[in-house]
Amino acid sequence: MQLVIVESPAKAKTIEKYLGPGYKVLASYGHIRDLPPKDGSVRPDEDFAMDWELYGDKTSRVKAITDAAKTADRLILATDPDREGEAISWHVRELLKKRKVLPKEVERVTFNAITKQTVTDAMKRPRELDQDLIDAYLARRALDYLFGFTLSPVLWRKLPGAKSAGRVQSVALRLIVEREREIEAFRSQEYWSVIARLEHLGTEFSARLVRFEGEKLDKLTLGNEGAALKAKALVESATFRVDEVETKPTRRNPYPPFTTSTLQQEAARKLGFSASHTMRVAQTLYEAGAITYMRTDGVQMDPSAISEARKAISDRYDGHYLPEKPRHYETKAKNAQEAHEAIRPTDFTKDRYGSSDEARLYDLIYKRAMASQMASANIERTTITLRDGTGKHELRATGQVIKFPGFLAVYEEGRDQKQDGDDEESGLLPAMNKGDTPAKRGVDAAQHFTQPPPRYSEASLVKRLEELGIGRPSTYAATLQVLKDRNYVRTEKNRFFAEESGRLLTAFLERFFPRYVAYDFTAGMEDELDNVSGGRAAWKIVLADFWRDFKPKSDEVMENKPSEVMAELDEFLSDYLFPPREDGTDPRICPKCAVGRLSLRGGRYGAFVACSNYPECKFTRKFAQPGGSDGDGGDDDSVLGQDPVTGLDVTRKSGRFGPYVQLGDGKEAKRASIPKDIGELDFEWALKLLSLPREVGKHPESGNPITASIGRYGPYLAHDGKYARLKATAEVFETGMNAAVMLLAAAAAGGGRGARVAAEPLNTFGPHPTSGGEIKLMAGRYGPYVTDGTTNATLPKDKKPEDLTLEEAIVLIDERAAKGPPKGKKVVKKKAAPKKAAAEKAPAKTAAKKPAAKKAPAKKPAAKKPKAAAE
């Protein structure tokens, strides 16, 4: 028997069908071992010795592989054709060798697509495991471990609120934070444009004023309304004639087929997919045999695939769409490894595959690959210049006409951001000759403001990382997910925003570890790792060079006291935290007491700005709140008035979870969050919020009170453990008895447990692409969940309901549906009444089942394992 090892069960099932009798194909379900998450797993002082630990959930899989290996004559390692695939094969081989069940014959087989022809051909060309790729994996894994496990303890002890740092993730975070700084430093400038609306031969078009009073107009030349109106008046009064007509033919060439990075970018732009979702869907398509391997830097296609693509083009289009010679591409990405093909369909006769997100992604891959072998597009760009009689004033109109679409008939690449003038250049212009005088239909003067650089989307961030040569495209999805999971960043409308903790971490690393978050250093490490994979460098030497400088630097920082670290960061961030004030006063003077000086402090939940005059002055400000917004102390600790009943101060404060009002001081002080929908908070509103819960009255049936209050998910009514949602904060104080009883009854009409949750959804996202049911975000008894009316899926604990996107909701519902009905809701058992009766007549069987329910004692030794290991 020949044992074949692959990663996934879907892949195993398909390949076993292709190979037939004599072969047993088992899945490892990805990596089977990893470095234990504890100190000492990599030991630099012992020549970088590494310990490996079996994943807890892989025990049964490894046992199945081990048992099969005992009777196998040959072991064929057929994991993915990349560095990670080589590593998985190496781990399987080493584990079987350690357990002394390794077959005598061990071979490595790789294939770029899961089709019968490709798989059977690959089986005829086995090879040895590639030690250079294994060494590159070991170097990368050890490097990331040493970076994280050396730096993270420094963060925990010296930087409040920090969770972890990573070799690539910290640099990606720096890009996001730096863009945030650019946006904050940006000062918008006003400018105006003057556009004439013209008509010639029945066709309307627009022309921009580009020269005024003999001077060429730059973007910001018309900087105010006065100048713009003066220019507008002149254009309205002058007569403009066509002076020049320039027609310039151009060609646009098709784009190469997708790589991992470009697929992630386009799927984000056109389909709204996150990088991680794109890779999950692509993995499914690959394992189904629909596309080639989806982790690749290569842009070239196999000659046979090129021939298939060209045939598909000739079958669908006339001869003009097929170039005389096949197109060949070379990557321009830094550190690219072109060992594999680009991502393409395995069969160009199939222009559709799958359903839902699989179908959408396949369509994108298919069209891009086909377009890459099509003819160029022929475009005619026309520029018309119109001048008045003096020659001092000039209008310009531009447009383009696609004479031959070529590859554009199939595919056009998306863009991250619309460029200025796109609309003007894409418009059609009427045929005009020198001397023509188009009719003037109107002149508009439009006000504009310069815009800051856009925040990164997943597509643009992945593109930037690739341009800098940082990380590998196959790891970008996981890297970005870590930043979200650590709450260093958040996404809004598919754009990255740096959170307070992310900004502080970046500042810490830039101040104390500048070399290790430098773009050129991180890209240089990728070069060294590529040298290892190419056999041009020894992996332990690369690690030794890194460790020689990194370890002493981390030890040096660890010796600093947290107060010293904060003092350094206070100075490093002074321009951000304490920018110059317009009135010239000292920006560090406390705006509340006017005596103390402001500085950066560290607390249990992170960094903040505080007054040195504490405890006499308790002014504080969030770290992420720029210094320019100090005002007079404003929202952060301002007394609104005294409570007429107790005489205690009613204070507005800003806390970890947002603004709130407080009555009195100390641990017993009453507090209430400030809802977002009440507008401007005043003393009257503060007293209302602190008075909650409000008793609406006694329920006419039960006689028990109905209360109105504000909870975690908004305003609500409560009565005898049952709830009804209110739409606005004002309704908490305005809802009367009749309305309250009706709302509670309507909520209860939902039936059973549904009566305990809000009747109204927290958010709606639109129809589910498969079931068609409307996707809603609901507040449930055990936390928020999403539903399409058929399947309910609880949100992960680290996911904020307000941050949930449509794409994430679909994934949660689909993953929950794939698991089947929840335990305890097996309809078959509920209907099997006769079996229950039979069970009552068989006490012996019932008694036999009782011990199975008492498994708790057996778990006690397992709970002591960590202690034993520590000893």
Sign of the torsion angle spanned by Cα atoms 574, 577, 583, 589? negative
pLDDT for 580 equals 85
Whose CA is closest to 515, among 36, 866, 171? Answer: 171
**pLDDT range class, residue 281, cuts 50, 70, 90:** very high
Ranking 52-61, 149-158, 348-357, 812-821 by mean pLDDT, the lowest is 812-821
The answer to whether the CB of 434 falls within 8 A of the CB of 244 is: yes
Tell me the pairing of strands 23-27 and 2-6: parallel
**What are the tens digits of pLDDT across the range 744-803?**
888 877 643 333 333 467 777 777 777 777 788 887 766 788 888 788 888 887 677 767
Instruction: Give the whole-angstrom CA distance, residue 780 versus residue 387.
Output: 68
pLDDT for 625 equals 55
**pLDDT range class, residue 359, cuts 50, 70, 90:** very high
Instruction: Give the whole-angstrom CA distance, residue 837 versus residue 634.
Output: 72
Q: Is the peptide bond before 615 cis (omega within 30 degrees of 0)?
A: yes
Q: 866: part of which helix (H) or strand (E)? A: helix 865-870
Instruction: Give the whole-angstrom CA distance, residue 60 versus residue 66.
Output: 10
Q: Is residue 739 exposed (0-12), middle (13-18) or buried (19+ Cβ within 10 Å)?
A: middle
Ranking 104-118, 640-654, 721-735 by mean pLDDT, the lowest is 640-654
Give the rounded percent of residues in the chain with a pLDDT score beyond 70: 87
Mean pLDDT of 211-226: 91
Mean pLDDT score of the chain, rounded to an integer? 83
pLDDT for 700 equals 86
Whose CA is closest to 708, among 697, 693, 723? Answer: 693
**What are the tens digits of pLDDT across the range 761-778?**
777 777 777 777 778 888
**pLDDT range class, residue 314, cuts 50, 70, 90:** very high
Mean pLDDT of 5-14: 86
Please report which residue ranges of 201-288 form alpha helices under DSSP H. Answer: 225-237, 260-266, 275-287
| Angle (nearest 5°) at CA 22 between 86 and 98 | 45
Instruction: Give the whole-angstrom CA distance, residue 182 versus residue 504.
Output: 16
Q: Is residue 499 exposed (0-12), middle (13-18) or buried (19+ Cβ within 10 Å)?
A: buried
Ranking 61-75, 374-388, 854-868 by mean pLDDT, the lowest is 854-868
Tell me the pairing of strands 2-6 and 74-77: parallel
pLDDT for 9 equals 83
Whose CA is closest to 476, among 311, 162, 262, 228? Answer: 262
**pLDDT range class, residue 831, cuts 50, 70, 90:** very low
The answer to whether the CB of 678 falls within 8 A of the CB of 685 is: yes
Give the rounded percent of residues in the chain with a pLDDT score beyond 90: 35
pLDDT for 655 equals 65
Q: Please give the DSSP secondary-structure letter assigned to residue 441.
A: E
pLDDT for 718 equals 92
Mean pLDDT of 595-623: 82
Comparing 598 with 800, the larger pLDDT belongs to: 598
| Angle (nearest 5°) at CA 367 between 362 and 370 | 120
Is the pLDDT at 548 greater than 80? The verdict is: yes
Is the pLDDT at 253 greater than 60? The verdict is: yes
**pLDDT range class, residue 39, cuts 50, 70, 90:** confident
Tokens at residue 509, please? Answer: 């690393």
Known catalytic residue at 576: no
**What are the tens digits of pLDDT across the range 451-502?**
899 999 888 898 898 888 888 777 888 888 888 888 889 888 788 998 888 8
Is the pLDDT at 27 greater than 50? The verdict is: yes
pTM of the predicted model, to two decimals? 0.66
Instruction: Give the whole-angstrom CA distance, residue 430 versus residue 437.
Output: 12
pLDDT for 637 equals 58
Ranking 16-25, 436-445, 680-689, 823-832 by mean pLDDT, the lowest is 823-832
Ranking 290-304, 469-483, 522-536 by mean pLDDT, the lowest is 469-483
pLDDT for 798 equals 67
Comparing 861 with 566, the larger pLDDT belongs to: 566
Comparing 771 with 168, the larger pLDDT belongs to: 168
SS3 270: helix
Mean pLDDT of 260-289: 89
Instruction: Give the whole-angstrom CA distance, residue 351 versus residue 330.
Output: 26
Mean pLDDT of 205-219: 92
The answer to whether the CB of 283 falls within 8 A of the CB of 289 is: no
pLDDT for 26 equals 93
pLDDT for 594 equals 87
Give the DSSP letter string of 178-209: HHHHHHHH----EEEEEEEEEEETTEEEEEEE
pLDDT for 127 equals 92
Ranking 108-117, 519-528, 596-605, 737-746 by mean pLDDT, the lowest is 596-605
SS3 386: strand
SS3 715: strand
Residue 857 phi/psi, 5° resolution?
-60, -35
Max intra-chain CA distance, the chain: 111
pLDDT for 423 equals 52
| CA 291 centroid distance within chain | 24
pLDDT for 272 equals 87
Torsion of CA 116, 296, 813, 13, to 10 degrees: 20
Is the pLDDT at 72 greater than 70? The verdict is: yes
- Across 587-690, where does the E strand assignment appear? 598-603, 606-611, 620-622, 637-642, 649-655, 658-663, 670-673
pLDDT for 857 equals 43
Give the DSSP letter string of 66-122: HHHHHT-SEEEE---SSHHHHHHHHHHHHHHHHTT---SEEEE---SS-SHHHHHHH
Sign of the torsion angle spanned by Cα atoms 167, 169, 171, 174? negative
Instruction: Give the whole-angstrom CA distance, residue 484 versus residue 800.
Output: 11
**pLDDT range class, residue 426, cuts 50, 70, 90:** low
pLDDT for 618 equals 81
| CA 771 centroid distance within chain | 25
Is the pLDDT at 164 greater than 70? The verdict is: yes
pLDDT for 354 equals 86
pLDDT for 445 equals 93
Q: Which of 29, 137, 293, 716 is catalytic?
A: 293
**pLDDT range class, residue 227, cuts 50, 70, 90:** very high
**What are the tens digits of pLDDT across the range 640-666?**
888 888 888 888 876 656 678 888 887
**What are the tens digits of pLDDT across the range 490-515?**
888 788 998 888 888 999 999 999 99
pLDDT for 481 equals 86
pLDDT for 858 equals 42
pLDDT for 333 equals 54
The answer to whether the CB of 517 falls within 8 A of the CB of 523 is: no
Is the pLDDT at 598 greater than 50? The verdict is: yes
